[in-house]
Amino acid sequence: MHPFDSLILAAGKGVRMKSNLPKVLHPVLGKPMVQYVIETVRRVGSAHSHVIIGFGKDQMRQALSTQGVGFIEQNEQLGTGHAVQCFAREHPTPPEHLLVVCGDTPLLSEETLRTMIEQHFSLRPAATMMTLDMQEPGGYGRILRNQQGNVQEIREAKDCSEVEKRIREVNLAIYLFEGKALYDRLFSLKNENRQKEYYLTDVIGMMTRDGLPVIAVKERDEASTLGINSRLDLNRVAGILRQRIIEKHLSEGVSILDPATTWIEPDVTIGSETVIYPNTILTGKTVIDSGCRIGPQVRVTGAHLNTGVTAEFAVIEHVTVAPHTRVKPFSHLGTEQAHSEARE
């Protein structure tokens, strides 16, 4: 496996969330949205992961203290280029390769990210980036290509001409840089744009003007690229993730009688031949073995239900329930002692 580090941009407040909680800490199905990104980059091989923090930095450190990441402070949010400069000041020796992603994209495709990494280490460009052909590009930066079809630069939407705004291929702000090539140009960034910010995208143009190759890998699933900027976005992304989780369990032999009223968080494990009845909520690191009957009206949090357990109209939290136990209706199992009282 080729070594690379990752940098997750997560310093913003998220004004449209209308919250004192940093945007990336808002939960999606029980986990902070940034945690999904951390887990994804780790699965694709990130040796060291770092998170850029700014607004609510103490909350960020506390919330992510168990995730094994480093923290880089960006006390003034002066753009994505400035965020990476903050990393470079803390780590003056460039990593061999640096993956840069945004912390507000919990649906980030592991498959496409792996393809991007494979292409980068196979072709050895100065940078590999992820793009998407979007029907309505809106505020996304456009990919400008030369006559040979090679990536030439990225133009932020606010700085695009009317002709450039008609380009459908957009930048997804996911990059894998060769470390030295990035560092050689990072502190030459200018903020001569409408936002008066230091754009990381400008590094791409610097590289191509210097004759260095930049390649793009296209994402095919637009849903996986959705960023979260508002509570409406949060609900939309949670709905997509919730549906994916339901479909995964159905494909693995779990019967879910009413998906519309069933809530299953991503760290839940369910064995085959288990039946989930309506109005069931499964959260945390819950494990349900095969052949169980759960619901209706059951909430299970961080518990282990062994083979053949049945439960209805009950709350089960952080306990282990023995095989073939019938949990009495209206029980609240919260301790091992309560567990013994639930048997019939």
Question: What does the alpha-carbon distance between residue 216 and residue 148 come to, in Å, rounded to a whole number?
Answer: 14
Catalytic entry in 16, 43, 114, 166: 16
Q: Is 29:265 a contact under the CB 8 Å cutoff?
A: yes
Q: Is 142:170 a contact under the CB 8 Å cutoff?
A: yes
Is 194 a known active-site residue? Answer: no
Question: What does the alpha-carbon distance between residue 204 and residue 131 come to, in Å, rounded to a whole number?
Answer: 13
Question: What does the alpha-carbon distance between residue 202 and residue 159 come to, in Å, rounded to a whole number?
Answer: 12
Q: How far is CA 228 from the centre of its chain?
A: 10
Active site residues: 16
